[in-house]
């Protein structure tokens, strides 16, 4: 008998993390993989951010000062690709890895080995993409939307590496999504019905379905480009009987759901944080689920609002205008629910709450400009100007990225067992908040006044606000170094966190110790 017990002990001994670098290379643990994703995304955020600094430095004054127009285009292309595919998406996957198993009471993700693979191919993809900077002819220079034929016939040779890199990112996303769906569908603790599921889990379930639906479409688009470039086809080449507009239809059929992929998990995060710090149950849990589902479904029928100026027939313009305006309804419901949750709550303002409130306000402003952009005749004036740049940065930076920062501050005590430095956290918030608004709010104005996007130089009437915008960008950029410092400081030590961490926190992840043990919920909890 004693031999049996001993071997049991022996097993237990191996249940902790392995030692050294191979821990990270071979790990199948959802918490380790979550950490890897989050650090990777942080690194990409800093690289993509550095490129944004180059862009804003060049735009600080009219005239060409720092870079050549050719290199400027490479910067704006890589900035977009890295922020979308390297920073925002992997950050959300990292959060999903850390949180979904703990939130549904599962011991790990359903497919741990695939989980490892889906992470480790990402650095490969971005190594390939970034290496194109050093290739003859330079990096991709056709914008993150890579419209053909600029990205095919007229592209630098590195476009082929870009295509393979996108393929790898797509494979990683699809594997990650399958993992999320299988985990949520099969591994929920007894008693956790779908409608009882925490909203972050819900938001990711919907996101994962969107990813599986549209990533293959993106793969199709880049494959057609590859064929056009190397194998003599003419999918997007008018001279060969192809259609450059077809590219845009395919790209935006991917691209529009993609922008919701980058915001739905943020909705989930914000719901949790506002609920916690209002010390009041979230208002309208069910309507939140339906709102997210409606947004996801609508995202498939609005893609051509990115293409109002390509010469669509009137009927199409009308349809896409109306469908796009309709998205304001479920989005409005979400905002109203958050506000009503705060109403008659008992609110405190820790850093995660500050970021979450800023998210609601600034995302709503991004939503307003989105509604304006939906009005087709007005879009003829807005399209491809800085107004659009302001719009999508409002939904992506103080939208998606603020929600990620809020999530980090909110859950980092659970991850590390240490409280972050509240004073520094608030400082980081205020610097980021001021920086982001000074950067992007004036861009609405210069866009309306007529400055096109994606230009390295501009006419003199745009000079003042461009300078203001650049100053804001430098402030925002610099404050992220502070964020890095705060995170490292928290990982290294700090005030010990209790299992609940926050007074008003709800959810299974707050029932385990802080830091969360390497293995949680080996036996499922009961949810009533």
Residue 20 is a binding residue for other proteins (CB under 8 A):
no
509 catalytic per annotation: no
Residue 191 — left, alpha, or beta (φ > 0 → left; ψ -120 to 50 → alpha)?
left
Which of 287, 426, 468, 499 is in the footprint of other proteins by CB under 8 A?
287
79 counts as catalytic:
yes
Binding other proteins (rule: CB under 8 A), the pick from 41, 376, 470, 520 is 376
List 278, 403, 418, 439, residue binding other proteins (CB under 8 A): 278
CB 267 within 8 A of CB 334: yes
In the residue annotation, 12 being an active-site residue is answered as: no
Distance of alpha carbon 189 from alpha carbon 511, whole angstroms:
14
Which C-beta is closer to other proteins: that of 343 or that of 518?
Answer: 343
State the minimum distance, in angstroms, from the CB of residue 321 to other proteins. 7
Indicate the length of the chain as a whole number. Answer: 528
* Residues of this chain, 381-400, that bind other proteins according to CB under 8 A: 381, 383-385
Three-class SS state of 357: helix
306 is catalytic: yes
Residue span 420-459 as binding mask against other proteins, x where in contact by CB under 8 A, dash where not:
----------------------x--xx-xxx-xxxxxxxx
Q: Where are the alpha helices (DSSP H) in 449-499?
A: 463-492
Residues 128-157 that bind other proteins (CB under 8 A): 135-138, 141-143, 147, 149-150, 153-154, 156-157
Q: Is the dihedral of CA 303, 306, 310, 312 positive or negative?
A: positive
- Write down the residue that tokens 């064929």 correspond to: 227
- Name the residue nearer to other proteins (CB basis): 383 or 428: 383
Distances (CA, A) of 4 to 8, 9, 10, 523: 6, 9, 10, 21
Stretch that binds other proteins, among 103-111, 115-123, 204-212, 235-243 (CB under 8 A): 235-243
Q: What are the two backbone dihedrals, phi and then psi, of residue 448, each rounded to the nearest 5 degrees?
A: -60, -35
Is 415 among the residues known to form the active site? Answer: no
Q: What is the largest CA-CA distance in the chain?
A: 86
Active site residue 131: no
Return the number of the residue (190 or 311) whose C-beta is nearest other proteins. 311
* Sign of the CA dihedral running 207, 212, 217, 223: positive
SS3 of residue 514 by DSSP: coil
Min dist. Cβ of residue 134 to other proteins (A): 11
Number of residues that bind other proteins (CB under 8 A): 101
Measured from the CB of residue 164, what is the shortest distance to other proteins in angstroms?
Answer: 19
Three-state secondary-structure class, residue 257: helix
Query: How distant is the alpha carbon of residue 432 from its chain centre?
Result: 17
Which contiguous run of DSSP H or E holds residue 458? Answer: none
- Please identify, using beta-carbon distances, which residue of 328 and 471 lies nearer to other proteins: 328
| Residue 307 and residue 249 in contact, taking contact as beta carbons nearer than 8 Å | yes
Signed CA dihedral, 89, 91, 93, 95: sign only: negative
Q: How far is the CB of 442 from other proteins (least distance, A)?
A: 8
Is-catalytic flag, 56?
no
Window 160-219: residues binding other proteins (CB under 8 A): none
User: 7, 131, 281, 498: which one contacts other proteins (CB under 8 A)?
Assistant: 281
Give the active site residues: 79, 108, 144, 172-173, 256, 258, 260, 271, 305-306, 331, 334, 453
């Amino acid at each position: 008998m004693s031999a049996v017990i001993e071997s049991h002990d022996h097993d237990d001994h191996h249940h902790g993390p392995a030692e050294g670098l191979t821990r990270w290379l071979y790990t199948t643990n959802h918490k380790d993989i979550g950490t890897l994703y989050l650090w990777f995304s942080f690194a990409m955020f800093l690289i993509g951010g550095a490129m944004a600094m180059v862009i804003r430095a060049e735009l600080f004054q009219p005239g060409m000062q720092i870079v050549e127009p050719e290199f400027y285009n490479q910067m704006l292309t890589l900035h977009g690709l890295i922020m979308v595919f390297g920073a925002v998406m992997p950050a959300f996957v990292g959060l999903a890895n850390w949180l979904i198993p703990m939130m549904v009471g599962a011991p790990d993700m359903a497919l741990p080995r695939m989980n490892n693979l889906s992470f480790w191919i990402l650095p490969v993809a971005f190594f390939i993409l970034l290496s194109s900077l050093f290739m003859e002819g330079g990096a991709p220079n056709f914008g993150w939307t890579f419209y053909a034929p600029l990205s095919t016939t007229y592209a630098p040779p590195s476009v082929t590496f870009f295509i393979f890199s996108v393929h790898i990112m797509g494979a990683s996303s699809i594997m990650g999504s399958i993992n999320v769906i299988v985990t949520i569908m099969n591994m929920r603790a007894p008693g956790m019905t779908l409608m009882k599921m925490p909203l972050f889990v819900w938001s990711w379930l919907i996101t994962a379905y969107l990813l599986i639906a549209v990533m293959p479409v993106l793969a199709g688009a880049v494959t057609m480009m590859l064929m056009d470039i190397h194998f003599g086809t003419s999918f997007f080449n008018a001279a060969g009987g192809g259609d450059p507009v077809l590219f845009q239809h395919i790209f935006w059929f991917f691209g529009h759901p993609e922008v919701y992929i980058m915001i739905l998990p943020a909705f989930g995060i914000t719901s949790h944080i506002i609920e916690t710090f209002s010390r009041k149950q979230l208002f309208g849990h069910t309507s939140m689920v339906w709102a997210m589902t409606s947004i996801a479904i609508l995202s498939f029928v609005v893609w051509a609002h990115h293409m109002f100026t390509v010469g669509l027939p009137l009927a199409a313009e009308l349809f896409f205008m109306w469908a796009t305006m309709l998205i304001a309804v479920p989005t409005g419901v979400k905002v109203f629910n958050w506000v009503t949750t705060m109403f008659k709550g008992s609110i405190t303002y820790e850093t995660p709450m500050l970021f979450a409130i800023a998210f609601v306000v600034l995302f709503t402003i991004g939503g307003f400009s989105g509604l304006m952009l939906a009005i087709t005749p007005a879009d003829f004036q807005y399209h491809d100007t800085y107004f659009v740049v302001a719009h999508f940065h409002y939904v992506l930076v103080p939208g998606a990225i603020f929600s990620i920062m809020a999530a980090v501050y909110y859950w980092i005590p659970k991850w590390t067992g240490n409280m972050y430095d509240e004073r520094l956290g608030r400082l980081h918030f205020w610097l980021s908040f001021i920086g982001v608004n000074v950067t992007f709010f004036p861009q609405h104005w210069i866009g309306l006044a007529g400055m096109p996007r994606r230009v390295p130089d501009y006419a003199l009437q745009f000079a003042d606000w461009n300078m203001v915008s650049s100053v804001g960008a430098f402030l925002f950029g610099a404050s992220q170094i502070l964020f890095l410092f705060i995170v490292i400081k928290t990982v290294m030590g700090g005030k010990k966190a209790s299992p609940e961490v926050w007074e008003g926190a709800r959810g299974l992840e707050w029932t385990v110790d802080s830091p969360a043990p390497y293995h949680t919920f080996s036996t499922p909890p009961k949810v009533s």
